[in-house]
Amino acid sequence: MKNIKNIKNSSLKKSSIYLLLVVLAIYLLSISFVIAVPASPSLTYVSNTTFTSSLTNRSTDVKGTITTITLSSNQQDYKWKAYVGNVTGRFVLDDAAGKSIYDWSTGAITGEVYVSRFSNVNWGSVACVNQTVIDSEQVGLGMSSSVKDNINSTFNYTNHGNFSVGTTPISGCRSTATYINDAAQVMGPSALFQEVLLRDTLTSNLVYTAIINSSVTGYNGQSYDFQMIIGENESASIPTPYYFWVELG
């Protein structure tokens, strides 16, 4: 009788183990595994600046004369605004409360800064912008399709450096590069401060993308990690709000 009891107990233990394994397997299958995507950063305001022109007049032109003049004007472009700055961060393993079990220093920062008028971007469905999305964004910002300072005319290159959004490789998109030391760059894969136009293929929303260059001399001789220009509605009475994300490389 003792042997029979032991056999029954052994069978029961095995059944319990099998049941536990089945429950564990079902639980694991119910977990959705998430691929790393751009994250919303904390944003700290540093400064804001713009050009102000001075009044010009002629007080020495006497009566009865004909004066020949040449006028030169740099007019502030209210169809655009710009953001420059630096990026800090690290790779971490955090729990829901933000407590880290481990983190990795990133050293020199690489990656991208993403900016969009739209708060919900499906990062698994990001691709190069197309003309339809550019046209739609220009309408949304009140930009004429015929002016030379619209989005379509500004982002008129496709030879930017390659990068990835999450696990999606990006190349050959509409792009440009902002200035260094008050001068234009020759656009190409090695240009600094490149900016690329992407789209969310599910919503057809446009995403501005600045490729990070860690501590590089920027437009005004100061050191920045990124520079980017963003479309604005020059006829609107309030500024267009934008949302920011960062993906570390």
pLDDT digits (tens, 9 = 90+) for 33-91: 445 789 888 888 887 878 777 777 888 889 999 999 998 888 899 999 999 999 999 99
| pLDDT tens, residue by residue, 139-193 | 999 999 999 999 999 999 999 999 999 999 999 999 999 999 999 999 999 999 9
DSSP, residue by residue, 92-109 = EEE-TTS-EEEEEE--S-
Task: Indicate the SS3 state at residue 85.
Answer: strand
CA distances from 233 to 70, 109, 174 (A): 31, 32, 21
Structure tokens at 172: 């050959």
The dihedral through the CA atoms of 192, 40, 96, 163 has a sign that is: negative
Query: Per residue in 77-93, is it b (16+ CB within 10 Å) or e — as a string?
Result: eebbbebbbebeeeeee
Q: What is the pLDDT of residue 29?
A: 36
Percentages (nearest 5) of helix, strand, coil residues in the chain: 20, 30, 55
Neighbours of 150 (CB within 10 A): 20
Kindly state the percentage of the chain with pLDDT values over 70: 86
Indicate whether 14 pLDDT > 60. no
Residue of higher predicted confidence among 33 and 102: 102
Looking up tokens 């604005």 gives 232
Q: What is the pLDDT of residue 35?
A: 56
What is d(CA 102, CA 73) in angstroms, rounded to the nearest whole number? 55
Q: What is the pLDDT of residue 41?
A: 84
What is d(CA 78, CA 28) in angstroms, rounded to the nearest whole number? 53
- Computed over every residue of the chain, the mean pLDDT equals 87
Q: What is the pTM of this model?
A: 0.81
Residue of higher predicted confidence among 110 and 23: 110
Rg from Cα positions in the chain: 28
Q: What is the pLDDT of residue 137?
A: 98
